[in-house]
Every structure is written in C-alpha cells, then in structure tokens.
Amino acid sequence: MKSNDLTRLEQLLRARYPCIFIPTLEDEEAVGLVRDAALRLSYQCRLWSIIGGIRDALVAGQPPIPETEHPAGALFYLTKQADPSLIVLLDLVDHLKDARILRLARDLARHCRDTASHLIFIDHRDELPTCLDAGATRFELSFPDDKELESIVRETLRAQNRERPVNAEISRGTFQLLVRHLAGLPRRRVRQIIIETVAEDSRFNEADLDTVLTRKRQIIHRGGLLEYVETLASMDQIGGMHNLKAWLHRRRRALSEEARAFGISPPRGVLMLGVQGAGKSYCTKAIATAWSRPLFRLDVGALYDKFIGESERRLRDALRQVEIMAPVILWIDEIEKAFASAASHSTDGGLSQRMFGSLLTWMQEHQAPVFLVATANDIGALPPELLRKGRFDEVFFVDLPDEAVRKDIFAIHLTARKRDPKAFDLNDLAKASGGYSGAEIEQAICSALHDAFAAKTDIDTARLRAALEASPPLSVTMAEQIAALRAWAVGRCVRAD
C-alpha cells in the first residue's frame, strides 16, 4: 500500500539511516515516494541520472548542475555539499564496476552519515557491491492492496472520462472481482490496463472482466517467471488418484475462517513424487480444480540470470507477486532439476544454494494463502532439506495406474475424442496396457487415431492394442530406475491412488 510505503520510508529517514537501497523496475514510483517524504520531512532532494545530471527533484524546470552527467563528476560534487538532503541516484549500480566510481560512492555514503543526509539508490539491479551493501538498508516497494487498487481504477476512469465520456455500468460485486483480478500488478500496469480496457468502446462493464484477466496473464507471462495454467473443468477428468482426491476433499473446508477459528492452520503444500507421465501434472490441476483457485507455474529456469543478484531478486519478486494474488496454487514442476546444484557441491558459485535457501525460508514463513505444489521424478536429486517434516503437509507418490484405473483412463480419453467407450473392450485394453502410464495410454490413442485417419476408417480395440504393442512403456525401458523409486516410496510417501 502506497501510504504504508511512505510511512516506512519516513521511519527510516527519521531513524537517520544514511544509505537506503530501493531495487525496483518502477523507478518513477520510487522517485515520487522519495519526493513525498522529502516534502513531509522538509528535506532538500537532489536527483541524479546519467542523462540529466544532478537537479533539484522538488522544483520542476530548474537546469541541472553543469558537468554532473558523468557519475564521477556527480559524486564528487555531492561530497562537497554540507546541507542535509536526500540524494537520489538512479541506476548507478552498473557504473560501480569502475573502482574509482565505487570509491567516490563510498566516500559519499560516509559524507551523508556525517552531514545527516541520506543516500538513496534506486536501481533496476538487485545487489549493491558488498562494501556499500553492508551499510545500506533495503527498501521494497509494496504492491497496491485492494483498497488502493479500487482507488486507482476509479481515478483512472475519471481521468479517461474527462478526455472522452466513459459509460460505466458495473455492479459492486463485479467491480470488486475485477479489482481482485488486478492484484499483484504494479500501479503503472493497473492504470494502463484500465486505459486499454475502455479505449476501444468507451465502456466499462462486466464484459471487461475477461479483458482485464487476459491482459494480466499476458503481463505475468511476459515476465517469464509465472505462467497462468488452465485447470481441469472437473475432477472426473482424472482417472484414479482416490487417496489424493479424498485428501483434497477433507481439506477443502480447512481454508475457511471457521477452520481457522477451530484451530486449524491452512494447508501449505504437497510434494508429489512419481514416474514420468503417471499424472503428477494432472494432480496439480486437480488441486486447483477441487479448491477453485487459480494455478500459476513458476519457471525456475527463467529465474537464473547472468548478473549477480538478479536471480535472487527475480525469485523474491515472483514469490511476492504470488502472495499478492493469493489465494492461489503455486506449482514448481520438476523441482529437483530447478535446484539440482543445491543437493551437491555447487558449480555455480553458490547460486543454487542461495536460491534454494530463499525458497525454503519462504515456505516456512509466508502467511498469505498460497498452496505450493512441487513435483519431482528423481528422488536422488532432491536436496534432503526439502524432505524434512513440516516442509509439506503431505508427500504423495504417484505410481503407474493399476488395471482398474487404466480402464478409467481409456474411457476418459476416448470420451474426450468423441468416441463412445462402450464401443471398445476396455477390459482387454486395460490388461494389454499393463505398465503404461496415463500419458502413454493417451499417446497410444492419438497414434491409433492417426493410423485410422490415414486408412480412412475409425479406431477400434484392435487398432488401440496394436498402438500399445508398437511402443513399449517407460516402465520397460527404465525398469531399474522405476523399481528403485517405488522401493524408496514404500513407508515414506502416501500413495495418490
């Protein structure tokens, strides 16, 4: 909330913190916040950027100080000013690779401490050099809460209405739902979405809900970290998984206020181990379906950045955004690959361990209603800390389907392809597909459909059997690995089925 950000910043300034670091991509918002604090606390405020040099941040139109565009000239000039002020440096971190500029920045930080001034770094980079970071206080901008989002939407609509009349016909309930769709986005993005929503037809109504949600998904996906995942329409689309379904049903009411009053803590997450293609992804979608929550997948591979500190910042930003959008399901697929180096001697300078440590801390401490689902295929590659009791509410093992479940899977996939399951010998197909995963059964149906289409006929039981026989399952080609995984799971996991 913006007012809370201002209060927090004022507290740091009143407490005489000499160096404040604001890592953000929303630099205009951060500069505006510092200006507000300067006005309220009667500080002078000087702003530096490489294209504008040093200028007065509180008086518009004043020319910059000559010869201060270069970082060295700017820092040297600022060390000669004795009056208490807020000194804002935009995107200086990249220039601190120069030892001379780093030395000047350290001198300026010391000068601010001695003159009751405050040095404020606002930067798209997430990490200061160690010698500066040791004396800096990190300040994170918050995302707007529901109340502020509602105010932003109303102000934006009024501004658009002044330019061109906007016909707003929306119920209070729909408006509140639309505001919730905007949660987890920075203020600038929220304003832009509302402007785009009314630009075409000058209307703001219930039909704009889908537009807002679509734009939000595009923005989140563009960031490369979180991906919105379409969930299943019904739990009936999943064959078997009876234990998992029962677990989900028992805990559905655990998300309510009544459960909290009863002394029940909201469920925090599950880890699902299993054979490739056995249905872990379907199980994840089943959780989102059963609890009617949006599902977001975290692409951990996209978190890793070549710049020092950027990976940690991207992970923190992603987790913070998920919390703002809560209640949601957060999915980390193949978590053992995402943090592989965390389970062994690191070859990446400790980055995987730091990232993994940040995730574990968040799992333990976050308060927002975010339910984490982690899936894994290789138990040997998992860091042992992840399996410690208390990290997850439950650890499920998703095994290959038995004969009865395989029969259900055939029926589900045949129905999805507009074929009547009663026209097939499902018992025969279930027996013939022993050792096949749900994904392999689906692929066999797809293969049979291609063969039948090429032969200008339709699929039948014989074609499906032939498709199964033509492609041996993973349980045959990787028998030893699957046997080891099954043996490990005995007594350590709850079977999903």
Q: Is domain 235-398 annotated with CATH 3.40.120.10?
A: no
Query: What rounded mean pLDDT belongs to the chain?
Result: 85
> What tens digit of pLDDT does each residue of 127-158 get?
899 999 999 999 988 888 888 899 999 999 99
* Alpha-carbon torsion (406, 411, 415, 420), positive or negative: positive
Residue 303 confidence (pLDDT): 65
Sign of CA dihedral 98, 103, 107, 110: positive
pLDDT band of residue 171 (cuts 50, 70, 90) is confident
Cα–Cα distance measured from residue 197 to residue 182, given in angstroms and rounded to the nearest whole number? 13
pLDDT greater than 90 at residue 366: no
Of the chain, the percentage scoring pLDDT greater than 90 comes to: 36
Q: Which fold would CATH assign to domain 2-138?
A: Rossmann fold (3.40.50)
Split at pLDDT 50, 70, 90, the class of 203 is confident
> pLDDT band at residue 306, thresholds of 50, 70 and 90?
very low
pTM to 2 decimal places: 0.66
Mean per-residue pLDDT for 104-116? 94
Q: Stretch 38-51: mean pLDDT, rounded?
A: 94
| Model confidence pLDDT, tens digit, residues 187-201 | 888 999 999 888 888
* Average of per-residue pLDDT across 456-475: 89
Per residue in 375-410, pLDDT (tens digit) is: 888 777 777 777 776 788 888 888 888 899 889 899
- According to the model, what pLDDT value does residue 177 have? 81
Most confident of 298-302, 349-353, 393-397: 393-397
Residues 203 and 142: their CA atoms lie apart, in Å, by 30
Task: State the average pLDDT over residues 48-61.
Answer: 91
The one-letter amino acid at 348: D
What fold is seen in the domain 403-477? Helicase, Ruva Protein; domain 3 (1.10.8)
Query: Smallest Cα–Cα separation from 33: which of 64, 57, 63, 65?
Result: 57
Helix extents (H) in 164-301: 172-181, 187-199, 208-222, 242-251, 257-262, 280-291
**pLDDT value at position 219?**
74
- Residue 301: pLDDT band with limits 50, 70, 90: low
